[in-house]
Amino acid sequence: MPIRWNVPQHAAALEQLDVSLVSPAPTERAESQGWLPHAGGPRHGRPPSPGAVVLGPDGVGKSTLARLAGEHFVQRNPSTLTRWVTGTPTERVVPFGAFSHLVDIADIGKPAALLRAARASLSRDARQGDLLLIVDDAHQLDILSATLVYQLALAGTARMIVTAQGPDFGATPEAIAALWTDGRLARIDIKPPGGTTKQSEPADVDEFIAELPGPARAVLDYLAVQEPLPLADLTVLAGEGAVNDAQDWGAAETRVRGGRANDPVVYTAHPLFAERALAALGDAGARRRRTELVAVLSQHSTDHLSDRLRLASLALDSDAPQPVAEVAEAAEQALRLGDLVLAERLASSALERAGGLPARLPLANALTRQGRGREADALLAVVDAAALSESELMSWTLLRAANQFFMLGEPERATAFLRTVRNRITDPGPRLTLDALGATFAMNAGNVASAVDIAHQVLTSPSAGDLAVAWAASAAALCSARQGRFEDVEPSAQRALDAEHPGLLRFTTGLAQTATLVMAGRLDEAAELAHQFTDFAELQQPGRAIGEVLLAHVLIAKGEFGQAAALLGPAAATLERSGYSWGPLSLILLATALAQQGDIAGAGIALSRAESRHGTKSALFTPELGLARAWRLASVRDSHGAVAAARNAARMAERGGQSAVAIRAWYEAVRLGDIRAADPLQRLCGEIDCAVGRIALAHARALADGDDEALRKASNDLAAIGMRAAAADASAQAERCSGRPHPDGR
């Protein structure tokens, strides 16, 4: 018999939701919700956005609450445009699937550009009136859709109601969980009165599905393999009147979501309906329904990337496979969007059917970026390089060399391989791309001067493509920052970011930019920029973890060691499983933060892990490893050993041409009590003019002279730029000096 929904009423929660949508002045909202920048509130320097996230199990009435609150708001504000987004298990397998009806992203294959286009599309809606975005079942969103929701909440682009199961009822995308953990939206928890509702029991749902009449059951079967579906297509598949039958029985519902495709679409009426209908279909039945669905959907021409990927994914498990070339191209698109799982599925299918390089490359790339370097190398090793064209040879070489350098930990082999293949390439464009990767290798190996020279040759050539520019410019930016050529950092960083190549290169530029801001004494700006690299990354790993390393690097400079360690603990656990040089750096910084907190055991463990994972691919950060050793020795009160370790780190940085890093290292020696650091600091500050260098030199001279007044001034100067731990060290040294006679007799 038809289900009669008995949705629990939550009057208090509805009132909370209504209030959350009203947006008072930012200061008022900040005070009313306890928000204070950098004072224990949300970690971002912005007040919360208007709206709320409603958490609770399925069947508790979250969707009804969202609908009622939306209707109340529109009644009070008639100019409001309401847009619905609903996460489903089948939409989740496609990048940006849940938002495909709202945003125009045709022919865009890079996450940063895609997310900008999505925000721009929604901003156009907002200009027509006040925009209310209702995101239902957000725990079922794909990564990019979840990221966009977070970005909209961060920017305050729209009023938002978000519903999700919450942490107690299943996995939630990190970007959605960050809505409440970062304090972006108010949190409202809903619990079912008297336990779970009857319709949420699987056995009852199975009985209900079995009783459905044929047409209504067919509707549910098609929605089980793809949800939602356009009403017109579902009518063709299940027959005239079938959707009405399904709605009369309470099995399905039709919605008009708004946006680019304003035609009605059909959803199941409860999340368990699709799950249990799919189980009842079995593999053969589900495959038959997918085949029928692919036949209908294939008749539509579409320029929308999400639609093409959705169809490609659906066709994989059907008897209507797409042409191999289309599947391989879809794998490349999924890869560009950062969806490594879908890229692997599509490329694996194409490779099984044809075995060509167009399928092998995206599959190896997806494996590499998941940290499965051995599998990727085996896949690439069987390719006959002699049979490849120059463009194919370049693509194969780039991927294999990068995999060897980072994932397999074989930098010498990778560099030699790159050099050998380069000699076979005659086209200047591909040769420059190989050179740019060589610059990245040189940088990571600590050969910054060589990396800058190679990068300059690439960047000054008109034949350099986007990928070459991205690699060369990001390497140039970070090397320039570490050399102390700060004026060169931002131009190189912007060239790298403008190239918008997917992957992790933007974090290399981020480290260059934040390090430059720190040396300029602009630590709050550095922290804000570092926040942006976590906010606007895809919020999937390892991107989120690397973004948090950038932030922790700034927090350590500010002396906020507890916050830094809290970020670095989980980030290091993620990154040390990858092959990237960020893994050793995260452990180096974790050891440094823990040592300066006085956590002797924790610092020792982190330092040991850092040393075991450090090698040629992370040699750029060898000075930081030396400083981690210095602070570890200081934590066990070995002051002589600590100063010696810091001096060694500084000299190593100087020998490697990393003069700005050397300034920081000599200054750490000063903080640890080195009275001989003034001379090398004076020499370096004669080459590099920056705020931290000037204060470091004044501090070093004051310590050498035993001048307590000058030490107090250095402490004040350090506090003024936000280097609180260093300021405290200078103040403590001043107190110790004030009890001794001054060297000049005063």
pLDDT of 308-356, one tens digit each?
Answer: 899 999 999 999 999 999 999 999 988 877 788 999 999 999 999 987 8
| pTM attached to this predicted model | 0.79
Strands 51-55 and 159-164, sheet pairing: parallel
109 against 678, higher pLDDT: 678
| Average pLDDT taken over every residue of the chain | 87
- Asked, colleague to colleague, whether 11-195 and 505-737 share their fold, the answer is no
What's the token pair of residue 302?
């579409």
**If you average pLDDT over each of 31-45, 192-206, 555-569, which comes out highest?**
555-569
Range 702-711 burial, b when 16+ CB lie within 10 A, else e: bbbbbbbebb
For 50, which DSSP code?
A: S
How far apart CA 681 and CA 663 sit, in angstroms, is 6
Phi, psi angles (nearest 5°) of residue 255: -130, 150
109 pLDDT band, cuts 50/70/90, is very low
Q: Which three-class secondary structure state does DSSP give residue 560? A: coil
Residues 43, 182: contact at Cβ < 8 Å?
Answer: yes
Q: Say which CATH topology domain 505-737 has.
A: 1.25.40
CB atoms within 10 A of CB 206: 15
Which CATH architecture describes the domain 199-316? Orthogonal Bundle (1.10)
- Residue 282 burial (10 A CB sphere; 0-12, 13-18, 19+): exposed
Strands 131-136 and 159-164, sheet pairing: parallel
Q: Say what the pLDDT of residue 211 is.
A: 93
Rounded mean pLDDT of 129-156? 86
Rounded mean pLDDT of 67-91? 90
113 pLDDT band, cuts 50/70/90, is low
Residue 57: what residue type?
P
Kind and range of the H or E element at 29?
helix 26-32
How is the chain split into domains, by residue range?
Answer: 11-195, 199-316, 505-737
Cα Rg of the chain (Å, integer): 29
Question: What count of residues does the chain have?
Answer: 746
Which CATH architecture describes the domain 11-195? 3-Layer(aba) Sandwich (3.40)
Rounded mean pLDDT of 592-598? 97
